[in-house]
Amino acid sequence: LVALVTFLCFVASRSRGAYTALAGMEVVITALFFLLYLLKLDKKLSWLFWPLADIFNSVIAALFLLIVCLFAVIKTDNGTLAGGVFGLVLLVLCVVDAVLLFRKISFDGPRERNTAK
CA distances from 52 to 29, 42, 83, 110 (A): 14, 12, 28, 16
The pLDDT value recorded for residue 106 is: 66
Report the chain's C-alpha Rg in angstroms.
16
The pLDDT value recorded for residue 58 is: 87
The pLDDT value recorded for residue 108 is: 56
CA angle 104, 109, 111 (to 5 degrees): 55
The pLDDT value recorded for residue 78 is: 78
CA distances from 115 to 44, 46, 69 (A): 17, 18, 41
Q: What is the pTM of this model?
A: 0.71
Give the mean model confidence (pLDDT) for residues 2-11: 82
Residue length, the chain? Answer: 117
Tens digits of residue pLDDT in 57-94: 888 988 988 888 888 888 767 777 888 888 889 889 88
Asked if 96 contacts 59 with a C-beta cutoff of 8 angstroms, the reply is no
Question: Is residue 109's pLDDT more than 60?
Answer: no
The pLDDT value recorded for residue 39 is: 86
Tens digits of residue pLDDT in 8-25: 887 888 777 777 888 888
Q: Cα(first)–Cα(last) distance of the chain, in Å?
A: 33
